[in-house]
A and B are shown apart, each in its own frame.
Chain A
Amino acid sequence: MTQHYLLRNRDVQDIDQFDVYEANGGYAAMKQAFETFKPEELVAMVKKSGLRGRGGAGFPTGMKWGFLPKDGRSRYLVVNSDEAEPGTFKDRELIEENPHQLIEGIIISSYATEASEAYIYCRGEFRRGAEQLKRAVKEAYDHGYLGTNILGTGFSLELKVYRGAGAYICGEESALLESLEGKRGNPRLKPPFPAVAGLYGGPTVVNNVETICNLPPLVTYGAEWYTSMGTDKSPGLKIMSVSGRVKRPGNYEIPLGTPLRTLIEEYAGGLLPGHTVKAVIPGGSSVPLLMPDQLDTPLDYESIVKAGSMLGSGGCIVLDEQVCIVGATARLVKFYREESCGKCTPCREGTYWMTDVLDRVEMGKGEPRDLEVLADVADNIAGKCFCPLGDASLGVLVSALKHFRHEFEAHVAEHTCPMGARLYDTVNH
């Protein structure tokens, strides 16, 4: 197992307290950034490090920062802490356990992008996280690390914590901005992209919590350190959230390119005795299944795409042999049916339709043609939605129909769930 960086202080008692964080080297990177870097040098360093957005899309962070127009308008940094992808819980640990690390990352990122206002858009359900953040932000203000003329550098930053109202769609950056402006959380038309017209129409950078938390160690150790880990195209570290029937579910920080098998067997301790892997959802609920014969797939953006799935947000759900794939799929599609914002037709209606059909199949009331209908409805959603949510609802379904068609057919033929699972009770106890 390799060293943890973002999670390095997880065992330090009271690391969420300002004094403890600072005593453990916290805010040193911020000061170092102020003293030794000009903003554009920081941007250059982030570009060189190859750091990619950790929210799911994996877009190069430095490039995103570089899109900000130099037109003198004041800029916003918005931190996407609306972590709601089923199976993903890395940002939650980062904000609940070590909020100052995020704040330090925000100060460095704002300094780099010359943003004078920053917002943390915190998932509505993260009550403790929001409280932690608000307290930590106040501590940072009290110590002069936020506010006007921070540490006499002339750099000023206002940071506010905003709690969402419980919509998955607000993890999509433009819906997040709508919600942050007090509007209905529906995604916006792009272009213009947030870098040009984001929050209140101003130039805006939207970055994920984990992405921002990479900034302090990046400043401390430098871009070369970062590229020394991971692969050429996917350098650095990624926190993976492992769940399912493994011995030690939890968050693990791995160098990108680590094989999936290593994550499951070494980091998470392997499956509980007597259980075997049936399939793995490697990157959160919206990505296609990987099969047991694909466990050696390296966990980096490129390899996992080659294997037919995506790294996504790093929510690795291990499904064991007791899981009814039809039931699991029904549950996940239902999630998207509940979370569809309703703006565009295919996502709104398609997820509703698929949920009803999957429920019926799982309950043993399916017909043979239902499987064709499911596949065709999925095809009518694919690539035709306004934002990625519609496609996200298809990842597991389409791969399940491909790899586990026999299980769907058995449900139809036997008029019941062969695994004896009840609806939405995906594990047969």
Chain B
Amino acid sequence: MIQLTIDGQEITVPAGTMIVDAAAKLGIDIPIYCYHQALGPLGACRMCLVEVEKMPKLATACTTAVSEGMVVRSKGPAVDKGRRGVLEFLLINHPLDCPVCDKGGECYLQDYTFEYGPGNGRFQEPKIQKLKDGPINEFVLVDQERCVLCQRCVRFMGEYVGEGQLLLEGRGVETVVTTVDHVPATSQFTGNVIDLCPVGALLSAPYHHKGRPWNIEREESVCPHCPVGCTSKVTAREGRVIRMEGRPIPDREWGWLCDRGRFGYDFGYHPDRLLTSWVQGVETSAAMATRQVGQWIQETINQDGGSAVGVIMGGTHTTEEAYQVQRFAREVIGTENLAISRSEAGYLPRALNGTFDDIKKADMVLLLGSDPYDAVPVVHLKLRERWLRYSALKVIGIGPTRLTRDTLPGQDVITAPEQSAAVMALALATQRPEDANVKTLLQALGDFSPSGVSPETLTELGVQLLGAEHLVSLWDGMDPAMGMVLAVLAELREKPTPILPTFGPANWRGWERAGFSAHFEDLTRILEHARDGIIKTLLVFGADLMNEYPDRALVQAAFDRLDHVVVEGVQPPEDSPQVDALLPGATWAEVYGTYINMEARLQVAMASVQPPGQARPVKTYVNTWAHILSHPLAWEEDWEPFDEDSGELLPLHPAPLHVTPLKVPAAIDGDMILITGALIWEMSEPSEILLPRIPALPGRINPEDAKNLGLDIHGGRMRVSQGETSLVTGMSLDPRVPKGLLWLPQRMPGVNTLQPGPIVLSLAKEEVTA
């Protein structure tokens, strides 16, 4: 530790700390443009000049590390003149268009000029003219004239994200920020440069000229689209959400968002948004519809009892809303048929759940079927940051495709579809053959040997699994058997073995906390009971079962048989003739509530706007129904998902370990096998802003297969057939997908009409459009 004095105050900080960070700990604000803690020092803008005793010149506080006994002065005539000079330099070529700049009022150039700058400019010469409002991509605009060339954006994309799609072009005062080869940036993380830009050079295209700081309101929120639950800020103007920004949290979050999350805030204004109530295909008043549904529930209870009602939770609902629904379901209806809409069959007990803090300590990361870049993008950034800081980080992908990437390198153990759990178990057996749990796992496997994975690979994997000091696993939740293997692994290792579930829905932990079952079997059982006529009325909150449940045929059969299907939500279900009542629901940014993310962390999202049209919070619906059922619910004290002892994280309950033998993976025959996985662009509510970036070619096949099938090198449309069912979709060539496999996003509409397994691929004939 190093002791130094800044402006007369003593402070002790770790060696290597920069003066600017030491000063910040004392509450002394040193102005900066180019420096960012996540990016490290650069020393370009020269804004952070300070006086250091025994140094002949002013020093830049962002590049000067502290030293023992150092005496720093962040104020004084020399510092003031230095900063005034730098600001004057920054302003000579900066256009005076603050009145029409989106950043006006949120701009560090304005703030610092006000605080440290010269009152008047002395520059009389013409300003350099550069490109204004040019595109970085569909979401981000660049105004090169306003740029102060701090390089935060270029360094973030190139060094931090590892996708160097931005660069500095030109030299000296003609230098500009632009994209490589002047083609649009395609990274998942481009929007972050808007937050990083200290001035009005990088702007949000959808927010362009939409608001000014004095007529907007910003509320703390949480991104609702995937289980990462990135901390964010929502900007609203006149009752409309017009922007989302990242929200840094000291020592925890940098405030990064992926583009899907940042720009997908407009789903509440989608033209298809459900704004009115519908009963049996007829648009009706909210009161009529609500009363009608209440009567149906009453009838079902009267005829078959409360347990003939099923309740399914999904969408972007908060934990509190789920709690309100479950109280209504249990106390008023008297049913225990409560489940969460799931797309994957796996489940992770809270006791095994890790946090993002574990990533910061990890020496090894397992990607179990999950490519975080596609599924939970900001976690990819967290992993990459760990790799940048700890280059010895081992990353191992285990799944049917390559899961490591150029931006997160490691090794891949490519397994045949549905054999990953067995591979993991066999790897453990190479090291601990005598362990009782391992023995149980292997009991039924017999002489099964996984295809394409050598005994040496199994041994090496086993050594690494048990040898890692802090092993973080990211699990896609596809195969429940993997969950059991992970539990055994955690039991075997006497070192930290945190697991981060990358599967959704985003708030499943929250709904589980509120009293819904997150087990896939419970959801399946409800659907089967509906299909079999045991459950008569199904209340669906927010979920689009037709697309979310992996077997559409079962949902179809259930809907066909049910007396009443009631769907509350934001978007009408795609194919909804069997839906008896559609009730418009309030959603994210329209209700206050808690989201619980993949870390099991509770985070609050404030309400920014009023629900539009007839849309209303679920509490309104359940209260009305409770009255109709003559069992009004008392809400004197709002229920809090927070727990006094565990605070931000859900309480830990030890989970008993139940190990059952793994089944021998079924041999899958076929020249072409379908596998599915998570793709963030295809998840959660649809957005118009995102449309230009939704992948046109979402399917992925090996370039050799593509060649053999006659697919163009740039990809194209193909027909995927399985028995009587078929689907036409765009395909791209991806060497990360092994030969003989087709990868499709699991949540792309129609994919759940197919089942993972053998398929036939053929070129789609050009469809003639009128």
Contact = CB atoms under 8 A, between A and B. Distances in A.
A415 B42 CA distance: 44
9 contacts: A338-B172, A341-B171, A343-B149, A345-B148, A348-B149, A379-B85, A380-B82, A384-B46, A384-B86
A338 B173 CA distance: 8
B361 interface: no
Q: In this complex, which of B58, B81, B86 has the most chain A Cβ atoms within 10 angstroms of its Cβ?
A: B86
Contacts of A350: 89
A385 B44 CA distance: 8
A386 interface: yes
Interface residues of B, number: 38
Given A339-B172, A345-B46, A352-B128, A380 B58 contact: no
Contacts of B44: 343-345, 386
Interface string A374-399: 00010111011110000000000000
A61 B531 CA distance: 86
Given A340-B172, A345-B149, 9 more contacts: A189-B63, A346-B46, A348-B149, A352-B173, A357-B125, A377-B85, A379-B85, A380-B81, A383-B58
Nearest to A359: B125
B344 interface: no
B349 interface: no
Contacts of A369: 122
Interface string A320-360: 00000000000000000111111111101111110011001
Given A340-B172, A346-B85, A348-B172, A384 B125 contact: no
A351 B122 CA distance: 15
A353 B123 contact: yes
B222 interface: no
A369 B123 CA distance: 11
Interface in A144-188: 167, 184
Given A350-B89, A373-B122, A380-B86, A337 B173 contact: yes
A184 B85 CA distance: 27
Interface string B329-355: 000000000000000000000000000
Q: In this complex, which of B57, B85, B151, B170 has the most chain A Cβ atoms within 10 angstroms of its Cβ?
A: B85
B633 interface: no
A395 B694 CA distance: 56
A380 B81 CA distance: 8
B89 A345 contact: yes
A346 B86 contact: yes
A340 B58 CA distance: 21
A339 B85 CA distance: 21
Given A344-B43, A344-B44, A356 B168 contact: no
Contacts of A346: 46, 85-86, 89
Interface string B42-59: 111111010000001110
Interface string B82-96: 101110111011000
B17 to A, nearest CB: 15
Contacts of B82: 380, 384
Interface in B162-208: 167-168, 170-175
A339 B170 CA distance: 11
Nearest to A185: B171
B169 to A, nearest CB: 9
Contact of B49 (A348, A349, A377, A384): A384
Contacts of A341: 171-172, 175
B43 A386 contact: yes
7 A-B pairs closest in CB distance: A380-B85, A342-B175, A349-B89, A356-B125, A383-B57, A340-B172, A352-B173
B363 to A, nearest CB: 22
Contact of B172 (A352, A377, A384, A386): A352
A103 B369 CA distance: 56
B172 to A, nearest CB: 4
Contacts of A357: 125
Contacts of A351: 172-173
A282 B122 CA distance: 33
Interface of chain A, main secondary structure: helix
Interface residues of A, number: 32
Contacts of A167: 171
B665 interface: no
A184 B82 CA distance: 28
A386 B46 contact: yes
Contact of B173 (A189, A342, A360, A383): A342
B173 A344 contact: no
Contacts of B730: none
Interface in A202-261: none
A367 B89 CA distance: 20
A184 B168 contact: yes
Contact of A345 (B45, B167, B170): B45
A380 B123 CA distance: 14
A342 B128 contact: no
A19 to B, nearest CB: 43
A381 B44 CA distance: 13
A340 B49 CA distance: 20
B125 A348 contact: no
A353 B125 CA distance: 8
Contacts of B43: 189, 344, 386
A13 B43 CA distance: 50
A337 B128 CA distance: 13
Nearest to B125: A356
A174 to B, nearest CB: 12
Contacts of B148: 345
Q: In this complex, which of A377, A379, A381 has the most chain B Cβ atoms within 10 angstroms of its Cβ?
A: A377
Q: In this complex, which of B41, B89, B167 has the most chain A Cβ atoms within 10 angstroms of its Cβ?
A: B89
B122 A348 contact: no
B58 A348 contact: no
B349 to A, nearest CB: 44
B170 A342 contact: yes
A360 B124 CA distance: 11
Contacts of A353: 89, 92, 123, 125
Given A383-B57, A384-B86, A349 B46 contact: no
Given A352-B93, A357-B125, A386-B43, A342 B58 contact: no
A342 B92 contact: no
A13 to B, nearest CB: 41
A355 to B, nearest CB: 9
Given A353-B123, A384-B58, A344 B45 contact: yes
Contacts of B167: 184
B18 to A, nearest CB: 11
A342 B168 CA distance: 9
Contacts of A349: 89-90, 92-93, 173
Interface in B142-171: 148-149, 151, 167-168, 170-171
Nearest to B169: A184
B66 to A, nearest CB: 14
Contacts of B174: 342
Nearest to B175: A342
A164 B60 CA distance: 30
A380 B41 CA distance: 22
Q: In this complex, which of B84, B172, B174 has the most chain A Cβ atoms within 10 angstroms of its Cβ?
A: B172
A352 B124 CA distance: 12
Interface string A111-143: 000000000000000000000000000000000
Interface in B662-688: none
A373 B82 CA distance: 15
Contacts of B173: 337, 340, 342, 348-349, 351-352
Nearest to A347: B172
A64 B151 CA distance: 31
A119 to B, nearest CB: 23
A351 to B, nearest CB: 7
Contacts of B47: 345
Nearest to A387: B43
A381 B122 CA distance: 15
Contacts of B122: 369, 373
A363 to B, nearest CB: 12
